[in-house]
Amino acid sequence: MSDVKVYDVLPDAAAKAHINDKQYQAMYAHSISDPSDFWAQQARNFITWFKEWDKVQDWDYYTGKTRWFEGAKLNVSYNCLDRHLASRGDQVAIIWEGDDPKVDKKITYRQLYEQVCRFANVLKERGVKKGDRVCIYLPMIPEAAVAMLACARIGAVHSVVFGGFSPESLKDRILDSGCQVVITANEGLRGGRSVPLKANVDKALTSCPGIHTVIVVKHTQHQPTWQTGKDIWYHEEVAKVSTECPAEEMDAEDPLFILYTSGSTGKPKGVLHTSGGYILYTAMTHKYIFDYHDGDIYWCTADVGWVTGHSYIIYGPLANGAVTLMFEGVPTYPDASRFWQVVDKHQVNIFYTAPTAIRALMGKGNALVEQTSRKSLRILGSVGEPINPEAWEWYYHVVGEGRCPIVDTWWQTETGGILITPLPGATPLKPGSATRPFFGVVPAIVNNEGEVLEGEAEGNLVITRSWPSQMRTVFGDHQRFIDTYLKTYPGNYFTGDGARRDKDGYYWITGRVDDVLNVSGHRLGTAEVESALVLHEKVAEAAVVGYPHDIKGQGIYAYVTLMADVQPSEALRKELINLVRSEIGAIATPDIIQWAPGLPKTRSGKIMRRILRKIAANEISNLGDISTLADPGVVDNLIETRSNK
Ligand code: PRX
């Protein structure tokens, strides 16, 4: 790869940055040679503790015990709010930009503090106590931040469910985490269309007897179906309570939130994050990776339903006293210039989005970008999936006009914060590479036998030691945590990703090596989509794989075997698509359904997905060894009838 372009650190970025390359090297070395000393220093630097820890770290990659700052006391909402009041009570905390470009709102730290205290009091009045789980199913409105921080304030554990998930998915998550309260809105708004959130909650609750309260934000004029006693209006309740609510003293290892994410098998897992290590790591990474300086306007376009929204819209930025922009809408409404219009309107300095959005906007042409100024931009970020060099170059040259470093940040729901990334004032950039590990992070590449590969290498990406914001367990199933992440390569955390390390020690993430899809940066298990398809009475079997998609990164390709005597039809295809949408949500909509009279299986009956992936990607000249198939003729049939859509 000698022809890879290298972009040197921009002089302006280096001059302004908190961390230059020399500092990166020195701090990284310290974080590795004496991690406890390094993290203790950072913990004092970034976080206000009610009481300091007895021990900085205590973890074991065999039993899955992961503890950071044990014995310490803190409150995450106190760190995001109370401690800023004296110095920046009147500074804006959240800029909210509505779906409608004419609608926006600014909320100061003091206002946010009061709203959080009020809502925390409402939760308490409804009987929510420390350790209880609360489900949040809200659109991208400030009340989502208020609800999360109010939970953190009283020690309740929030479980945010993305507003695009179906009632069925919502129900599964409510039941798995044992929530008693749901916080929702009558409706959400996206791209000028309303999303029936309260109606979805009502459907989900037909089989969730544990829910005694639904708190409803009135976001539009729509009057939802109402169940007196259970359903209460947010605005009515917060008006009745005090603007003061003491922050509960929490242990560093007390749970902060559960967030569901897809794996290669079974139902989504409840990833559990705790308080001290998580807030330290998200605050620190937010400051250094986005080179956040006081007064900067920072915008992460993610949804709070995903981990990026948790860590880099809410917790990291607010812990740092930042101005964080929250956007309700979509990049293409009212037109595909919206992102850049919002950048100009609010004078955004730091902009963090996903490659799928960059590719979609790139496809709409440069004029939509060039008609805006974007002079306020200083730093650009990318997250969620590998960014192809072409999209990277467009982002760098057209959006950033060559003035703004791009931080391509690699991380996962499980990691809580960014693990591999450039630092804007320290790291020469290579388009498509997430570059180097953050402080305290030790990645390694192992082959399928688990042998560690040194130097230039390609294989499976593992992390060899714990970092403060690592997930602690799968909620309610610690064995699943061990089996999923710690068993494959004993002694290491297995990411599920493949990666290559080049001669400069830079990491290039090559994508998932397991049966997890990444569709427009959304993570989905192939097994989830298959389970939805086989619910249909006319489906005998289904196998789902990803295939390269120009905009989405990966598309969803479903091979469906029908019951004997059932004829395929356009109507059936639509029924199957609707079934997946209603079981999971629109993000799981199959792009292609191929009718498959048979699936390639080994003699022991295992579906050979490797072959299905090749056929889906149209790499049929290179199918590899098919001699172990029970019936090799199946493959010819699939190739002949392959969809060319
Ligand atoms: O495959 C990697 C990809 O997204 C996965 C994690 O997905 P999720 O838990 O939903 O979190 C997404 C936001 C942090 C990873 O296993 N991924 C994430 N960021 C990158 C990436 N792949 C390549 N480059 C990235 N920067």
Ligand 1 near 261 CB (within 6 A) = yes
Kind of pairing between the strands at 188-190 and 193-195 = antiparallel
Tell whether 536 is in a known binding site.
yes
For residue 418, pLDDT beyond 80: yes
| Residue with CA closest to ligand 1 atom 10 | 523
Say what percent of the chain tops pLDDT 90.
95
Give the C-alpha separation, 372 to 169, whole Å: 40
Q: How much is the pLDDT for 626?
A: 84
For residue 514, pLDDT beyond 60: yes
Ligand 1 near 413 CB (within 6 A) = yes
In the reported structure, the alpha carbon of residue 412 is separated from the centroid of ligand 1 by a whole-number distance in angstroms of 5
Tell whether 394 is in a known binding site.
no
Ligand 1, atom nearest to 495 Cα: 16
Residue 547 token pair: 């295939």
In the reported structure, the alpha carbon of residue 482 is separated from the centroid of ligand 1 by a whole-number distance in angstroms of 20
Is 11-443 assigned to CATH 3.40.50.12780?
Answer: yes
Ligand 1 near 434 CB (within 6 A) = yes
Cβ pair 579, 533 in contact under 8 A: yes
Closest CA to 315 of 278, 351, 348: 278
Sheet holding 507-512, edge to edge: 452-453, 443-446, 457-463, 493-501, 507-512
Ligand 1 near 422 CB (within 6 A) = no
In the reported structure, the alpha carbon of residue 416 is separated from the centroid of ligand 1 by a whole-number distance in angstroms of 11
Ligand 1 near 499 CB (within 6 A) = no
Kind of pairing between the strands at 231-233 and 213-217 = parallel
Closest CA to 526 of 570, 550, 559: 559
In the reported structure, the alpha carbon of residue 410 is separated from the centroid of ligand 1 by a whole-number distance in angstroms of 6
Ligand 1 near 518 CB (within 6 A) = yes
| Residue with CA closest to ligand 1 atom 11 | 412
Mean pLDDT of 504-533: 96
479: left (phi over 0), alpha (psi -120 to 50) or beta: alpha
What is the helix (H) or strand (E) element at residue 250, kind and residue range?
strand 250-251
Tell whether 495 is in a known binding site.
no
Mean pLDDT of 145-164: 98
Tell whether 34 is in a known binding site.
no
- Tens-digit pLDDT profile for residues 341-365: 999 999 999 999 999 999 999 999 9
Q: Model confidence at 627, in pLDDT bands (50, 70, 90)?
A: confident
List of residues 6+ apart from 597 with CB closer than 8 A:
561, 634, 637
| Residue with CA closest to ligand 1 atom 22 | 385
Kindly list the domain boundaries of the chain, sorted by start residue.
11-443, 520-641
| Residue with CA closest to ligand 1 atom 15 | 412
For residue 236, pLDDT beyond 90: yes
389: left (phi over 0), alpha (psi -120 to 50) or beta: alpha
Pocket test for ligand 1, best of 285, 308, 383, 517 (most atoms within 8 A of CB): 383
Ligand 1 near 497 CB (within 6 A) = yes
Tell whether 384 is in a known binding site.
yes
Mean pLDDT of 524-542: 97
- Tens-digit pLDDT profile for residues 239-265: 999 999 999 999 999 999 999 999 988
Tell whether 539 is in a known binding site.
yes
Burial class from Cβ neighbours inside 10 Å (0-12, 13-18, 19+) for residue 54 reads: exposed
List of residues 6+ apart from 502 with CB closer than 8 A:
1, 4, 430, 433, 456, 508
Give the C-alpha separation, 542 to 534, whole Å: 6
For residue 266, pLDDT beyond 90: no
Instruction: List residues bridging with 194 in a β-sheet.
Output: 189
Pocket test for ligand 1, best of 506, 509, 522 (most atoms within 8 A of CB): 509
Dihedral of the CA atoms 516, 521, 522, 525 (nearest 10)? -10
- Give me the half-sphere count of Cα atoms (radius 13 Å) on the Cβ side of residue 236: 6
In the reported structure, the alpha carbon of residue 609 is separated from the centroid of ligand 1 by a whole-number distance in angstroms of 22
Q: Model confidence at 2, in pLDDT bands (50, 70, 90)?
A: low
Other beta carbons within 10 angstroms of residue 449's beta carbon come to 7
For residue 644, pLDDT beyond 80: no
Ligand 1 near 170 CB (within 6 A) = no
Residue with tokens 């967030």: 259
Cβ pair 147, 119 in contact under 8 A: yes
Q: How much is the pLDDT for 377?
A: 98
- Tens-digit pLDDT profile for residues 560-598: 999 999 999 999 999 999 999 999 999 999 999 999 999
Give the C-alpha separation, 162 to 261, whole Å: 11
| Residue with CA closest to ligand 1 atom 8 | 412
- Tens-digit pLDDT profile for residues 23-54: 999 999 999 999 999 999 999 999 999 999 99
CATH code of 520-641, in short, is 3.30.300.30
Other beta carbons within 10 angstroms of residue 47's beta carbon come to 23
Ligand 1 near 408 CB (within 6 A) = yes
Residue with tokens 């609360």: 134
Give the C-alpha separation, 411 to 441, whole Å: 11
Kind of pairing between the strands at 323-327 and 297-300 = parallel
Give the C-alpha separation, 426 to 432, whole Å: 17
Q: Is the dihedral of CA 587, 591, 596, 598 positive or negative?
A: negative
Q: How much is the pLDDT for 51?
A: 98
Q: Say how far residue 292 (Cα) sits from the centre of its chain.
A: 21
For residue 89, pLDDT beyond 80: yes
- Tens-digit pLDDT profile for residues 369-403: 999 999 999 999 999 999 999 999 999 999 999 99
For residue 451, pLDDT beyond 70: yes
Radius of gyration of the chain (CA): 24
Q: In the 8-state DSSP scheme, what is residue 483? A: I
For residue 642, pLDDT beyond 90: no
Please provide the average confidence, as pLDDT, over all residues in the chain: 97
Ligand 1, atom nearest to 382 Cα: 26
Give the C-alpha separation, 552 to 556, whole Å: 10
Q: How much is the pLDDT for 4?
A: 87
| Residue with CA closest to ligand 1 atom 2 | 385
Cβ pair 600, 635 in contact under 8 A: yes
Q: Model confidence at 213, in pLDDT bands (50, 70, 90)?
A: very high
Ligand 1 near 496 CB (within 6 A) = yes
SS3 of 227, please?
coil
In the reported structure, the alpha carbon of residue 77 is separated from the centroid of ligand 1 by a whole-number distance in angstroms of 27
- Strand ranges (DSSP E) for 360-409? 379-383, 406-409
| Residue with CA closest to ligand 1 atom 3 | 385
Q: In the 8-state DSSP scheme, what is residue 339? A: H
Ligand 1 near 356 CB (within 6 A) = no
Burial class from Cβ neighbours inside 10 Å (0-12, 13-18, 19+) for residue 5 reads: exposed
Tell whether 191 is in a known binding site.
yes
In the reported structure, the alpha carbon of residue 417 is separated from the centroid of ligand 1 by a whole-number distance in angstroms of 11
Mean pLDDT of 205-230: 98
Query: Contacts for 604-609 with beta carbons within 8 Å, 24 or more apart?
Result: 605/630, 607/543, 609/515, 609/526, 609/543, 609/545
Ligand 1 near 308 CB (within 6 A) = yes
Q: How many residues does the chain have?
A: 645
Give the C-alpha separation, 642 to 645, whole Å: 9
Q: Model confidence at 614, in pLDDT bands (50, 70, 90)?
A: very high
Residue with tokens 């829910």: 211
Give the C-alpha separation, 584 to 524, whole Å: 10
Say what percent of the chain tops pLDDT 70.
99
For residue 643, pLDDT beyond 80: no
